[in-house]
Amino acid sequence: MEETLNGAGAGDASELPFLPDQVELAQFLGDEANSGNIVRTQLKASGRVIARVTDGIYRRPASAFRELISNAWDADANTITILTDAPRFERIHIRDNGNGMSHEVLSRILLNIGGSAKRHIDGQTLGITASNDPTKSPGGRPLIGKIGIGLFSVSQISRRFRIITKVKGASYRLVADVRLRTYSEDPNDHPEVEADDEFISGEVLLVRQAAQDIESQGTDIVLEDVKPNIRDLLRDNARWRLIAERRNALSNGDMDAALAIKVEEPRVHSGWIEEMRSNDTSPVVQTVPSMLPWDAETPANERMACLMDAVEKETESTQRPALNNVLDAYLEMLWTLGLSSPVDYIDSHPFDLKRSSAFDLYWISNDARGQAILVDMRAGESVREAIAREHEVNLEDGLPHTAGPFSAFIDGVELKKPIRYRFRSAGERNLSRALLFVGRYNPNLSRVSNERRGGGLELEAYIYWNGRIVPKENNGVLVRIRGASGALFDPTFFGYQVSELTRLKQITSEIYVRRGLDAALNIDRESFNYSHPHVQLVAQWLQRGVRQLTNKHKDLAKKARLERREIAGNEQQSAINDYADAVWRHRQGDESSPKVVITSETGPLSQARSEGALALSSEIIYSSNKVATFDQGIRQAKTVALVRVLAAFNVLDDRSYREQEDLVSAILELFLGN
Amino acid sequence: MATDTEMEKTQDELGSDDLTSVFGTEDVRPHDEGLRLKNDFLPWHRPVKQLVRKEQWAALAVRLVKDSKLSKLRYLTLPGADMFDVRVIAETCAQEGCKVEYLGFDSSRSGERGVDQLAAATANAAQRDTAESVLRQTGLVTDSSITLNDFLEDIAVSGSQACAILRNFGHFDIVNIDACDHLAVEPVGERPGLFSAVKEVFSHQRGRHSPWLLYVTTRVSPDRLGGPKEEFVDAIKRNLDLPTDVFRNAFAEAMGVSADDVEDVVSDGWAIHDDRLLKLFSIGLGKYLLQLAHGHYGDPAKVELASCYCYRVHEGSADMLALAFRITPTAKRIAQPTIGGGVLNLPLLEPVLAARVANKVVKLVDLDRELAEQPDLAEGALAATLKLLEVANYNLDEYREWLEKNERPTPTSVVRSAVTPLSIVDG
């Protein structure tokens, strides 16, 4: 037998007395006669801990919807539809055409919150997992859920809800009416404190109703009365109230109050209703009518693309648009759900991208000091096909599942992953195409003992460098476990400590975990337990991959720079430019310095911006009379140098073009003015 | 330990608005409401209503589905908690491979005041949830079908949530204003009347290229006729004043008077609750809708009365009208200049179409009489109603008792009875 690295030499404890019962263990330890005797027991968790999940454990309402979408996936549904009644959010419907819940399954779910039979041998008996694999759904999908709290994620949104569910072939339908208690640790609230430390989370009334539609199946959940604070979050109430306050201040001539409110109206939104309730004589009226990026005729499957277009359009006014400037809370929730759900990409899965002039493909080396290898894609070939041909690896993520396609709809919008792989230039000093690094990792952990291994680990991934990542929320790494993700993009790449800040801001990466890591997911599925060995393995592999990418990028950028110099000949650089370049190198290392354009013409200005240059309007920068008296030539050179120095210190990041122009103008006025 | 009363003395008062904004509303609906076997029977549970659903609504719907080759029927409705109208129409359309996608307005939750009303409204909504889910899981309706807790009347209010959702939904193939109350009643307060909603529906449907159906079920009684009546009168008079007698003659025949006496009927016929009132109402509404649709030069349409039934709910004589109109968009007209340089208000075709509405009203069918005279029809209507009630979780034994205790008044109407077994007689 091969010796394990960590388990070697451990004694066999199975001969010791075993006392799993609390009373017996206490008696044993209390008995003086047992001094020096070793006893063995097992750690057990209290039911009260899990009871808290029925009161909500998430930070955002989107998380609850994410869990329900995962549940539908696990139930082999082909569609899930969520109707939110936006922007009122009074009653919410969640409907799927999945396997439904039988009397055994529903009973188990209600009486064993946190005791999911998914990924458990019981799941096979109950028919909620594949007969030959407890980690898969009956239809063969990898199960996302595992703890058995997904259904109760709705408690985040409403304390009252109704479940109507039917299993195919059954002559009945089950209706459950659930009322949850607010979790309390005040003994005055629940004098009938429950035995066995099991917290009673609420009351459920159930009825079995005869069904004539024997062959139908599916589950409906109706959230009857959405919690007031959740409604306020969903409808972006705080933002709209501030905007209304500013409008009032302006109409009253109170400029101080108006200027103090910095909140902007989102570019696209679902509208806002100030007075939510109707009465006998007056209807509910939208205070701010919705401004959606699609119209009534736009097909559901094109609406996410319209949403992405709206966000990308924002690059006309800022270099790295942020989602919450463009979208209201509701549309941002659609975005987030699109990112986190096991649905298709807006345009194409990165592994299905065809050969084009927009990117070069590399295969990531799994050796600690290895370098990525350029993959020569043939005409008409996809990433998946090229990798299979050159490296004999079949990338599986994004391939059709045996359980069929899966679509999620919210209020007529079909969710899609809002990530696009379109090249965006970072200026002529940088690369003229994107870099797509793809890899697979399946580390051999057989030399680690079962107790410490945390199970097997297998993943596929890509790391994509682009001149600009739009929106900035798509910068970083996103980890999908079994197709779903709770966490958003992590821009630190698992805390990667490097000085490559500019390059890291130009990377979108996704890791598709095929096996393992989910034990490292915290209960809200939105963050990882960093002490889990799988997290460390994934982080280590990713950071090596990123390093391979940045090395390759440096090489290519240097080569491009040299070529450009040759073409430009012995171009004389002014002392000012040299100084600015030196500052840039000191701050940013080998990163290409940004192209700076100062022009008064709007056409070239927009063109330069679309190519990723730092382009500013001379009309605004030199609008001051004082500055206008300064010598034109030196002024231009100094302005360009100033912009480059500010960029070297990342001062211009995340500022709109207008703000950048105002900042440069203000500094120039101080130093170049009279 | 301090008692509740002692503790309260030292606590800070919280306003009810603050309490609601943090904790929401208290549960007022009995928890078992919406789950137990139901026994609250209402007028639309009578077999006579099933005749309207099946012979008028479903039969015309399936004809539209076939003619327009629809795979999805878009349906605007005022469903009760049982969703019977949706079920009957959807089951019929399913035989043609067509699913229903509905937008419902159920005002029972809106504007509730006291605890009792709120409890009743939430119980109603809970029952509706189950009925909707059953329809959806059965595959009869689409996943996007939804009922809002709003008054349909609110669509006539610019900027309302109801109006926004209606616009986002797009055009409908069928609009069913199953009012159970008076369409023509004068509204109270700021909220517009149901008749304004009908007008808004016509406005919403503009730009549609294929035929659609409008079902109107309404109570009619002389004391509940408000502003809309004046609009009906005006619409009828405009045709009586024309040089052609085509409408005058048809109207006179429908009302059973000579052509010279029709003006008296138009001014006096609204005061007495008899069959002439029902006919007058039907022609007035039909003529009004025709004028509304036909007179629109941008998107003209013709309006036909496809079917008209009456029956009893509260009175000895028929007090409910069930009308079905077919609206067919026609080619855009080129405005014809007149001597004054204006535009002809009523092209010559309109009086002919109006006369057809009046001709159709002659055939107004008294459903109660049909049931009394055709035992097979009555039996079929009862059996179909029982099936609906069973799916909707009603106690059938109690239903039969209720039906016996609340026997129908014997029809006293002199409305012509159909000689042949009931069928859609479509002009």
pLDDT of residue B225: 84
pLDDT of residue A142: 80
What angle separates helix B227-240 from helix B194-204, to the nearest 10 degrees?
60
Residue type at B25? T
Q: Please provide the average confidence, as pLDDT, over all residues in chain A.
A: 85
Residues in A closer than 8 angstroms to B38, CB to CB, are none
How do residues A397-456 score in pLDDT, each as one tens digit? Answer: 999 888 889 999 999 999 999 999 999 988 777 888 999 999 999 999 888 888 777 788
Q: Which residues of A522-545 are buried (b: 16+ CB within 10 A; e: fewer)?
A: ebbbbebeeebbbbebbbebbbbb
Which is it for strands A92-96 and A218-223: parallel, antiparallel or unpaired? antiparallel
For residue A623, which of A664, A577, A569, A570 has the smallest C-alpha distance? Answer: A664
pLDDT of residue A6: 43
From B113, B126, B161, residue closest to A286, measured CB to CB = B161
Asked if pLDDT for residue B242 goes beyond 90, the answer is no
Question: pTM here?
Answer: 0.84
pLDDT of residue A562: 77
Residues in A closer than 8 angstroms to B20, CB to CB, are 228
- Mean pLDDT in residue range B264-293: 91
Dihedrals phi, psi of A486, to nearest 5 degrees: -95, -35
User: In this structure, are A27 and A75 located in the same domain?
Assistant: no
pLDDT of residue B273: 85
Chain-chain contact of B391 with A212 (C-beta, under 8 angstroms): yes
Chain-chain contact of A220 with B162 (C-beta, under 8 angstroms): no
> Of the residues A231, A247, A275, which one is the last residue of a structural domain?
A231
Number of other CB atoms surrounding residue B4 within 10 Å: 7
Chain-chain contact of A228 with B150 (C-beta, under 8 angstroms): no
pLDDT of residue A20: 84
Residue A258 lies in a domain: no
Closest A-chain CA to B191: A281
Chain-chain contact of A179 with B20 (C-beta, under 8 angstroms): no
Chain-chain contact of A289 with B164 (C-beta, under 8 angstroms): yes
How do residues A475-516 score in pLDDT, each as one tens digit? Answer: 999 999 988 888 889 999 999 988 777 899 999 999 999 998
Chain-chain contact of B137 with A220 (C-beta, under 8 angstroms): yes
From A166, A177, A412, residue closest to B144, measured CB to CB = A412
The label of the residue with tokens 């396609």 reads A405
User: In this structure, are A553 and A584 located in the same domain?
Assistant: no
Closest B-chain CA to A157: B24
Asked if pLDDT for residue A105 goes beyond 60, the answer is yes
Which is it for strands A172-180 and A202-210: parallel, antiparallel or unpaired? antiparallel
Chain-chain contact of B162 with A297 (C-beta, under 8 angstroms): no
- Mean pLDDT in residue range A622-643: 68
Residues in A closer than 8 angstroms to B1, CB to CB, are 188
User: In this structure, are A35 and A85 located in the same domain?
Assistant: no
- Rounded Cα distance, A569 and A547, in Å: 33
Instruction: Tell me the percentage of chain A whose pLDDT exceeds 70.
Output: 86
User: In this structure, are A84 and A176 located in the same domain?
Assistant: yes
pLDDT of residue A190: 55
Domain segments of chain B: what residues?
A: 49-405
Residues in A closer than 8 angstroms to B168, CB to CB, are 296, 412
How do residues A273-322 score in pLDDT, each as one tens digit? Answer: 998 775 666 788 999 999 999 998 899 999 999 999 999 999 888 878 88
* Most confident option among A409-418, A509-518, A596-605, B108-117: A409-418
Helical H runs in A261-415? 303-313, 323-326, 329-340, 383-391
For residue A483, which of A525, A455, A441 has the smallest C-alpha distance? Answer: A525
- Rounded Cα distance, B231 and B401, in Å: 44
How do residues B299-348 score in pLDDT, each as one tens digit? Answer: 789 999 999 999 998 767 889 999 999 999 987 665 555 544 444 444 57
How do residues B63-92 score in pLDDT, each as one tens digit? Answer: 999 999 999 999 999 998 899 999 999 999
User: In this structure, are A90 and A144 located in the same domain?
Assistant: yes
- Residue A632's pLDDT band, with cuts at 50, 70 and 90, is low
| CA dist list (Å): B359 to A47, B303, B346, B350 | 75, 14, 20, 14
pLDDT of residue A309: 96
- Rounded Cα distance, A452 and A443, in Å: 15
User: In this structure, are A75 and A143 located in the same domain?
Assistant: yes
- Rounded Cα distance, A204 and A183, in Å: 16
The label of the residue with tokens 């016996």 reads B404
Asked if pLDDT for residue A2 goes beyond 50, the answer is no
Bigger pLDDT: A441 or B35?
A441
- Rounded Cα distance, B264 and B254, in Å: 14
Q: Please provide the average confidence, as pLDDT, over all residues in chain B.
A: 85
Number of other CB atoms surrounding residue A631 within 10 Å: 10
Dihedrals phi, psi of A279, to nearest 5 degrees: -130, -165
- Mean pLDDT in residue range B97-116: 80
Number of other CB atoms surrounding residue B174 within 10 Å: 23
- Rounded Cα distance, A357 and A90, in Å: 49
Asked if pLDDT for residue A3 goes beyond 50, the answer is no
- Residue B196's pLDDT band, with cuts at 50, 70 and 90, is very high
User: In this structure, are A346 and A468 located in the same domain?
Assistant: yes
Asked if pLDDT for residue B20 goes beyond 80, the answer is no
- Mean pLDDT in residue range A95-115: 84
pLDDT of residue B243: 84
How do residues A250-260 score in pLDDT, each as one tens digit? Answer: 999 999 989 88
| CA dist list (Å): B120 to A618, B30, B81, B125, B149 | 68, 9, 11, 9, 13
How do residues B335-392 score in pLDDT, each as one tens digit? Answer: 555 544 444 444 578 889 999 999 999 989 999 999 999 999 999 999 999 999 998 9
Assess A214–B contact: CB distance below 8 Å, yes or no. no
pLDDT of residue B187: 75
pLDDT of residue A389: 96
pLDDT of residue A624: 61
- Residue B186's pLDDT band, with cuts at 50, 70 and 90, is confident
> Of the residues A173, A196, A231, which one is the last residue of a structural domain?
A231
- Residue A361's pLDDT band, with cuts at 50, 70 and 90, is very high
Residue A668 lies in a domain: yes
- Mean pLDDT in residue range A241-262: 92
Residues in A closer than 8 angstroms to B190, CB to CB, are 281-282
> Of the residues A216, A231, A246, which one is the last residue of a structural domain?
A231
3-state secondary structure string across chain B: CCCHHHHHHCCCCCCHHHHHHHHCCCCCCCCCCCCCCECCCCHHHCHHHHHHHHHHHHHHHHHHHHHHCCCEEEEEECCCCCCHHHHHHHHHHHCCCCEEEEEEECCCCCCCCCHHHHHHHHHHHHHHHHHHHHHHHCCCECCCCEEECCCHHHHHCCCEHHHHHHHHHCCCCEEEEEEEEECCCCCCCCCCCHHHHHHHHHHHCCCCCCCEEEEEEEECCHHHCCHHHHHHHHHHHHHHCCCCCHHHHHHHHHHCCCHHHHHHHHHHCCCCCCHHHHHHHHHHHHHHHHHHHHCCCCCCEEEEEEEEEEECCCCCCCCEEEEEEEEEECCCCCCCECCCCCECCCCCHHHHHHHHHHHHHCCCEEHHHHHHHCHHHHHHHHHHHHHHHHHCCECHHHHHHHHHHCCCCCCCCCCCCCCCCCCCCCC
Chain-chain contact of A280 with B189 (C-beta, under 8 angstroms): yes
User: In this structure, are A128 and A32 located in the same domain?
Assistant: no
CATH number at residue A161: 3.30.565
For residue A543, which of A506, A493, A595 has the smallest C-alpha distance? Answer: A493
User: In this structure, are A18 and A129 located in the same domain?
Assistant: no
Residue A350 lies in a domain: yes
User: In this structure, are A448 and A540 located in the same domain?
Assistant: yes
Provide the CA B55 distance to its chain's centre, in angstroms: 15
User: In this structure, are A176 and A128 located in the same domain?
Assistant: yes
Residues in B closer than 8 angstroms to A81, CB to CB, are 143-144
pLDDT of residue A338: 97
- Rounded Cα distance, A28 and A22, in Å: 10
- Mean pLDDT in residue range A549-569: 79
Residue A246 lies in a domain: no
- Rounded Cα distance, B286 and B308, in Å: 11
Chain-chain contact of B31 with A271 (C-beta, under 8 angstroms): no
CA–CA min distance B126, chain A (Å): 8
Chain-chain contact of B191 with A177 (C-beta, under 8 angstroms): no
Instruction: Tell me the percentage of chain B whose pLDDT exceeds 90.
Output: 55
Chain-chain contact of B24 with A227 (C-beta, under 8 angstroms): yes
- Residue A379's pLDDT band, with cuts at 50, 70 and 90, is very high
Residues in A closer than 8 angstroms to B35, CB to CB, are 175, 177, 205-207
DSSP state letters, A640-657: HHHHHHHHHTT-STT-BH
What angle separates helix B275-294 from helix B349-361, to the nearest 10 degrees?
150
Asked if pLDDT for residue A126 goes beyond 90, the answer is no
- Mean pLDDT in residue range A193-209: 70
The label of the residue with tokens 């090229």 reads A386
Touching B: A residues 182-201, CB under 8 Å: 188
3-state secondary structure string across B182-234: ECCCCCCCCCCCHHHHHHHHHHHCCCCCCCEEEEEEEECCHHHCCHHHHHHHH
Strands of the sheet with B365-366, listed across from one edge = B146-148, B99-105, B72-77, B174-182, B212-219, B320-329, B301-311, B365-366
Number of other CB atoms surrounding residue A10 within 10 Å: 10
Asked if pLDDT for residue A333 goes beyond 80, the answer is yes
CA–CA min distance B171, chain A (Å): 10
Q: B417 and B366 in contact (C-beta within 8 Å)?
A: yes
Instruction: Tell me the percentage of chain B whose pLDDT exceeds 70.
Output: 86
| CA dist list (Å): A560 to A117, A429, A563 | 57, 8, 5
CA–CA min distance A84, chain B (Å): 10
Domain that holds residue A96: 48-231
Residues in A closer than 8 angstroms to B122, CB to CB, are 224
Residue A556 lies in a domain: yes
Q: How many domains does chain A have?
A: 4
Residue A320 lies in a domain: no
What is the complex's ipTM, to 2 decimals? 0.87
User: In this structure, are A494 and A459 located in the same domain?
Assistant: yes
